[in-house]
Structures are given as structure tokens and as C-alpha cells.
């Protein structure tokens, strides 16, 4: 991932959307905020385990799930901050039209084709909603899936 971050930082500087920051500064910000997000997620999960553990609020089988949830939280925070850093210079240029388009693209434009493709399948509305939201993601999903398969086979 650091190589991806470095490439994205260089591309941002090259395309002049980095807000005058250099690629090294942008890369260090991305990594620094990612580390900060990981520390915050770890501290939050530790506090939950300590607080809930002292009060016996977590059943033993569920204690194993909490660290995995913490890892997911750390991953989400890191990529949320990563995206915020990359988008920060262009957020001032947002218009209501762009925001509306983004929201429609993430919901109706994405979910409607899945629902149409599933016509006649007898699937319930909840299933259609799930498939529409979590279903096909396009070329990026294929690339990441192939990369994951190569990592596992190599």
C-alpha cells in the first residue's frame, strides 16, 4: 500500500490538485493520518474491551470478534482519512449538482440495474437491496480480486 500511496501522491502533485504540497509531504500526511487512525481505533477497541470486560457485558465467544472489528475500524478510518487528504484541495469546488450526482451514482444508478437484472428471480426486496449495494463493483473489484488470488497462490 505505501507504493500505491506514493504513486497517488505523485499523481496528485503532477495534476496540480495537491494544493501546492509536495509529493513527499502529501505521502507523509497520508501515512501519518493512517497511523493516527490506527492508534485511535486501537485505543477505542481497548477501552471497549476494558469497560465491557469489567462489567461482564461481553459473552466469551464474542470477545474474539472485537479485535477483528477493531482492525476493520482502523482500516476504514485510514482510508477515510486518506480520501479526505486527497480530496481536500478540491472540496471547495463542489457544487450541489456534483453532490447530487455522486449520491445518485452510489444509490439509484448503481442499484437500479441490479434490480432490473433480477426481475423474475423472485428475490425479496431485502435481497435486491443487498445485491444492489454490495454487488458488482466494476473493474476495480476484479483487479483487487485477481491481486488477492495471486497473493494467496504465490
Contact 8, 16 (CB under 8 A): no
Q: Structural domain boundaries of the chain? A: 1-93, 94-154
- In this prediction, residue 128 has a pLDDT band, given cuts at 50, 70 and 90, of confident
Distance, C-alpha 19 to centroid of its chain: 23
Does residue 137 or residue 38 have the better pLDDT?
Answer: 38
Residue 154 has pLDDT above 80, yes or no: no
Cα(64)–Cα(62) distance, integer angstroms: 5
Residue 148 has pLDDT above 70, yes or no: no
pLDDT in tens, 16-74: 655 666 777 777 777 787 788 888 888 999 998 889 889 988 888 888 888 888 888 88
Amino acid at each position: 500500500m505505501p507504493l500505491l500511496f506514493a504513486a497517488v501522491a505523485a499523481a496528485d502533485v503532477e495534476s496540480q490538485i495537491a494544493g501546492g504540497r509536495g509529493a513527499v509531504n502529501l505521502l507523509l500526511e497520508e501515512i501519518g493520518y493512517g497511523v493516527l487512525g490506527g492508534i485511535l481505533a486501537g485505543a477505542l477497541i481497548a477501552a471497549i474491551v476494558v469497560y465491557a470486560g469489567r462489567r461482564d457485558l461481553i459473552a466469551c465467544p464474542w470477545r474474539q470478534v472485537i479485535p477483528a472489528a477493531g482492525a476493520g475500524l482502523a482500516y476504514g478510518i485510514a482510508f477515510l482519512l486518506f480520501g479526505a487528504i486527497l480530496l481536500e484541495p478540491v472540496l471547495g469546488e463542489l457544487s450541489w449538482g456534483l453532490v447530487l450526482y455522486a449520491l445518485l451514482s452510489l444509490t439509484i444508478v448503481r442499484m437500479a440495474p441490479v434490480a432490473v437484472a433480477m426481475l423474475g428471480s423472485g428475490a425479496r426486496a431485502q435481497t435486491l437491496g443487498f445485491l444492489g449495494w454490495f454487488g458488482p463493483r466494476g473493474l476495480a473489484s476484479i483487479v483487487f480480486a485477481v491481486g488477492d488470488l495471486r497473493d494467496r497462490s504465490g
